[in-house]
Amino acid sequence: MPQRPKLVLVGQLSTHPWVFDAAARAGIDLVLVPRGDDTAESAARANAVVEVLPLDIDGNPEGALSALADRYRREPFAGIMAGNEKVVPFVARAARELGLPGLSDEAAAVVRDKRSMRQRLRKAGLGAPGFRVVGDPDSWIEALDLRFPVVVKPASGFSSLGVIRADDKDGLEQAVARTRELVDTHLAPGEGTAEQAGVLVEEYLDGPEISAESLVFHGEVRVCAISWKGELTGPYFEETTLRAPAQLPAEILAAIEAEVIGAHHAFGVTEGTTHTELRLVGGVRPVLLEMGARIGGGGFMHHLVHVSSGIDLAAEALRIHLGRQPLCWSEEPVPTGHAAAYLVPVGKGGRINRVRGLDVVRTDPQVDYVVQTVGPGAQVRCYPDWSGYPAIVLSRHDSDAAAVTYRDYLARTLHVEYEEQG
């Protein structure tokens, strides 16, 4: 019997089941490099994981790389894949040094830096809002020649942490100060000081938000699904719902695909899977917000793609990182329904007691997954100081209208209960 292929999965949170379940379906064994906030027990228990390999990627990347190379020499593995945004450059470098499929170092750096993405889009003649980089604390003034409203954000952030809309000069000054503070507290440890990490100010793109999940194999891009996130107007941008497939006219879907494919080429992203966020300016013109070279939403975007297009996104991504052609390159998948994700809003923040209403939702036949990432006793902070979704509910429906009705029901039913402040 041929040996099962083995792949090193870096930093995929083991309580998020989608990539692990996909590996089991595809007959792939995983060596899991756990995320810093994962627990050893949970990592070892995850589906398809045959080995746990702790590496200190943040604290000692060189040491982590040589430990990985040692592990490879002991017994080679056939691929390596990033399970979160931060490890994308590390994984690209490891793949290159070990001769495994992956992104170039350059592409990995581009997709981790919103400045570089904006510059590349411009150069390729693709849509991009006006923007300024704010280095030192006083240079926010240079952003005053942008058209208000603007959005202030860390140059290499995630999950809308420190992303703030500003409508006028005073708002801009305050937002820049607040974002810098959040960068220093939460992002700078891995990326240097706020000066180096950088804060970006860009013109506000007015229109609903969408997301596109893609596979890319040897430079050929397939946009697998387009999801609808709806109107998010700020001042903070907490995501709560996604639905796929997005109910949009064929010509807008085609324009989105063209923009997303163009962005892959502009960024040099040739291998793997991507999560691209866009705004539909005026409801019609797609403009990229950003691209991540990984499965979106800590893995849950897999579910939206799988249901709405029939493409087993996570399994296909694993195949690409093993150097294999994705199955959907040669056989047409069949959609099975409308998928929805509901992220329970953090609300006021504090120490979590429980998420009220979740037990009823768990047994609902429309619901495929309920994942609680921050358990009782955990401290969560409210936006713009993001620290985790309390719970994620993934469901499937016969129509988009049914998905909307269900979202409204969840919004009425699910609430985070916090411990009383003593």
What is residue 85's DSSP assignment? Answer: G
Q: How far apart are CA 357 and CA 417, in angstroms?
A: 10
Among 68, 163, 253, 263, binds ligand ADP (CB under 6 A): 163
Can you read off the two tokens belonging to residue 173? Answer: 């000054």
Residues 246-285 as x/- pattern, contact with ligand ADP by CB under 6 A: -------------------------------x-x------
Stretch that binds ligand ADP, among 13-21, 105-113, 150-158, 342-350 (CB under 6 A): 150-158
383 makes contact with ligand ADP (CB under 6 A) = no
Q: How far from each other are the two terminal CA atoms of the chain, in whole angstroms?
A: 62
User: Whose CA is closest to 46, among 30, 66, 65?
Assistant: 30
Q: Give residues 189-248 in contact with ligand ADP (rule: CB under 6 A).
A: 202, 204-205, 209, 232, 237
Contact 92, 60 (CB under 8 A): no
Q: How far apart are CA 373 and CA 388, in angstroms?
A: 7
Among 42, 47, 116, 159, binds ligand ADP (CB under 6 A): 159
Stretch that binds ligand ADP, among 17-25, 116-124, 153-161, 327-335 (CB under 6 A): 153-161
CA 240 vs. chain centroid, Å, equals: 14
Q: How far apart are CA 30 and CA 9, in angstroms?
A: 6
Which residue's CB is nearer to ligand ADP, number 232 or number 371?
232
152 makes contact with ligand ADP (CB under 6 A) = no
Among 98, 117, 161, 318, binds ligand ADP (CB under 6 A): 161
- Chain residues in the site for Ca ion (CB under 5 A): 277
Which residue's CB is nearer to Ca ion, number 151 or number 328?
151
Query: For residue 268, which amino acid is it?
Result: G
| Minimum separation from the CB atom of position 397 to ligand ADP (A) | 24
* Residue whose C-beta lies closest to Ca ion: 277
Which residue's CB is nearer to Ca ion, number 143 or number 163?
163
Q: How far apart are CA 211 and CA 349, in angstroms?
A: 27
Strand partners, 209: 230, 279
User: Whose CA is closest to 343, among 394, 289, 299, 380?
Assistant: 394
Which residue's CB is nearer to ligand ADP, number 208 or number 310?
208
Chain position carrying tokens 């000069």:
169
Kindly list the strands in the beta sheet with 415-418, ordered across the sheet, starting from the edge strand earlier in the chain. 379-380, 350-356, 415-418
Among 42, 133, 148, 158, binds ligand ADP (CB under 6 A): 158
| Minimum separation from the CB atom of position 381 to ligand ADP (A) | 15
Which residue's CB is nearer to Ca ion, number 209 or number 271?
209
| Minimum separation from the CB atom of position 406 to Ca ion (A) | 24
**In a 3-state reduction of DSSP, which class is residue 171?**
helix
Which residue's CB is nearer to ligand ADP, number 163 or number 225?
163
Residue 181 phi, psi (nearest 5): -60, -45
Q: How far apart are CA 387 and CA 380, in angstroms?
A: 6
153 makes contact with ligand ADP (CB under 6 A) = yes
Which residues would be at the binding site for ligand ADP (CB under 6 A)? 129, 151, 153, 157-161, 163, 202, 204-205, 209, 232, 237, 277, 279, 289-290
